[in-house]
Amino acid sequence: MFKDFRDYLDYLEKNEMLVRVKKEVDPRFEIAAGIRKISDTNGPALLFENVKGYPNWRVAGGIFATRKLMALALNTDEAEASLFERYLECDQKRVKPKLVSTGPVKEVIMKGSDIDLSRLPIPTYCEKDVGPFLTAGVEIAKDPETGIQNASIIRRQLLGKDRLGLTLPPTRDIGMMISAAEQKGQGLGVATVMGAHPALAIASQVKAPMGVDEVEIAGAFRGEPLEVIKCETIDVEVPADAEVVIEGMTIPGERIDDGPFGEYPGDYISLRNYTTLSSKPTGPAYVVKITAITMRKTPIFQAMLTGMPMTENHILKKWAYAAAIYRAISHVVPRVEDIKGINLTPGGGANSHVVISIHKRSEATARDIIYTVLSTRLLTGLATVVDEDINIYDPSNVEWAVITRTQPDRDIIILPTVPPPTGSRADPVHMYRWGIDATKPMIEDRSLYDRAVPPGVEKVDYV
C-alpha cells in the first residue's frame, strides 16, 4: 500500500489527509501550533515546506494526530473497535527485518566536525519548554547482554552541536540497557530514527516484554519485513529508507537536568520527584554524544506534539495500551468474551485512566480486573469498571454509572503508593493507584439499576 515515509505522505495527500503549508513557519512554536490546531479540529497532517532558517528542509507534523490518520496508517477504518482489533491482530506477531547493504538514508553522511545538530529544524513546542526537543524519533538500541534490539519513542533535548539529552526512567528497556553497559564502564549506542515507515512508530508503542525486537512487530503491522541497514558508528540496525538517523553513544555516568518540557499529562510539573514531591520541573537525563548523522539528500524532518491531551502522542499509544490491558485482564475474567470494551480516556492522556466494560458474572470480577490493571507495568493510575450497557466513550455516561452504581466505602479501591527506583522521574498522575467498581451489584433484580428511558426513541420520526 505504501512502502516508506514519503510514500505514506503521498498516500495521505491522495486521501485528502495532508496539507502542504507554503507559508514560512518558525520552528519555535509555529510548527507546534499547527499540529495543535489539527489535533483539536480533527484535521489533516501537515507538511511544512518553508521552514524559517532551514531552506533545504521540510517538516512533517501531526502524522498520527487524529483517529482517522491512525486508521490510514494501520490500513483499517477509524472505529475504535477496528483500531483495537488491528493491534490485537499484530502486536504478538513477528516478522524479522531484512538486512541490506545500502539505502536512501545513507545518501548524506556526516561525521566528526561536520556534525552540527543546529542544522536540523528541531522544533520548540510549548511556551515554557527549555528549548528544542526531538520528539518523533524512534530510539533503537541493542542490548549489550543479549544482542536484541529495542525500539521506543523517547524525547531528546538539544544540548549542543553534538550533544543530546535522553530522557527516560532507568526501568525502561533502553534505561536497563544503558545500566548494563555502564556496569562495564561503557556507553550504549543509540540511534534516533526519524521519517521511517509508520509501522515502526506504531510498533514502538506496543507493550512487549524486554527481549522482543519491536522492529519485528513493525514488520507484522506492515505485512512484510522492514529493510534495515547497519549504522556507521554504532552497532545498531536502522530502517534503510528512513529520512534521518542520528547515531550516538551515551556517556557513562553523565547526567543532566532535563526540562522543563510540556509532557503528555498536559502540564510542566510531570517530572517532580516521587519521594520529595519537589515542584522543580526538571529531572535526570542521560547524555548522548553524537557520532554520526545520516540522511536523504532532501530530508523530511518529523515533528510530534505532546502536551495537553489529545495529541498525536496520545493517539499513537492509545490502542497499544488497550491491547496490553486486554491481554492482562483476559486471565481474570470468567470468559474472555465478557470483556466488552476498553477505553483509555482523553482526559487521562490515553493511559492514566482506563474504563473497562464487562458482562458481569460475579461480584469479584470488577475488583479482580482493577487489581490486575493496577499491578501491571503500565502507567495506569485509575481503572474504572462498568457494565456493558454503559458507553465507555461517553464521559457523561461513565460518570452516571459512577454516581448511581458506586458505593464509595465499598467500591473505591486505593492501593498504597510504591516509590519508584532511585533516579526515576515521576508525575502527579502516577503518584496513585486506585480503582472504581461502577458495576451493578449482583442483587436479585439488577434491572433496578437500569437507565430510565422511554422505549421506542429510535423510532420517533416527528421531531
Determine the 3-state secondary structure of 23 from DSSP: coil
Domain-by-domain residue ranges, the chain?
5-312, 330-449
Query: What pLDDT score does 251 carry?
Result: 97
Pick 181 or 279 by higher pLDDT. 181
Query: What pLDDT score does 444 carry?
Result: 83
* 112 has a pLDDT exceeding 60: yes
- For domain 5-312, give the CATH superfamily: Electron Transport, Fmn-binding Protein; Chain A (2.30.110.10)
Grid cell listed for 161: 552541536
* 278 has a pLDDT exceeding 80: no
Taking residues 6-25, what's their average pLDDT? 97
Query: What pLDDT score does 115 carry?
Result: 98
* 24 has a pLDDT exceeding 90: yes
Query: What pLDDT score does 463 carry?
Result: 82
User: DSSP assignment of 408-459, as one string?
Assistant: HHHHEEEEPP----TT----GGGG-EEEEEESPP--S-GGGGS----TTGGG
Taking residues 442-460, what's their average pLDDT? 86
Query: What pLDDT score does 264 carry?
Result: 81
CA distances from 177 to 138, 184, 255, 344, 455 (A): 16, 11, 16, 29, 60
Instruction: Label residue 455 by pLDDT band (50, 70, 90).
Output: confident
* 400 has a pLDDT exceeding 70: yes
Query: What pLDDT score does 431 carry?
Result: 60
* 279 has a pLDDT exceeding 70: no
- 338-86-1 Cα angle (round to 5): 165
Instruction: Label residue 315 by pLDDT band (50, 70, 90).
Output: very high
Q: How far is the C-alpha of 237 from the C-alpha of 215, rounded, in Å?
A: 10
Q: How far is the C-alpha of 310 from the C-alpha of 254, rounded, in Å?
A: 34
Q: pLDDT tens, 409-448?
A: 999 999 886 555 444 444 445 567 899 999 999 888 888 8
Instruction: Label residue 273 by pLDDT band (50, 70, 90).
Output: very low
CA distances from 63 to 67, 71, 193, 329 (A): 11, 11, 15, 31
Instruction: Label residue 377 by pLDDT band (50, 70, 90).
Output: confident
The percentage of residues in the chain with a pLDDT greater than 70, rounded to a whole number, is: 94
Beta-bridge mates of residue 435: 383, 413
| The CATH number of domain 330-449, selected from 3.40.190.10, 3.40.50.720, 2.60.40.3950, 3.40.1670.10 | 3.40.1670.10
Q: pLDDT tens, 223-265?
A: 999 999 999 999 999 999 999 999 999 999 999 888 888 888 7
Query: What pLDDT score does 430 carry?
Result: 54
Q: How far is CA 52 from its chain centroid?
A: 28
Determine the 3-state secondary structure of 113 from DSSP: helix
Instruction: Label residue 126 by pLDDT band (50, 70, 90).
Output: very high
* Residue among 286, 291, 386, 373 nearest 328 (CA): 373
* 125 has a pLDDT exceeding 90: yes
Query: What pLDDT score does 276 carry?
Result: 44
* 319 has a pLDDT exceeding 90: yes
Pick 447 or 118 by higher pLDDT. 118
Pick 423 or 2 by higher pLDDT. 2
Lowest mean pLDDT among 28-37, 219-228, 275-284, 453-462: 275-284
Q: pLDDT tens, 340-375?
A: 999 999 998 898 899 999 999 999 999 999 999 998
* 394 has a pLDDT exceeding 50: yes
Taking residues 307-321, what's their average pLDDT? 93
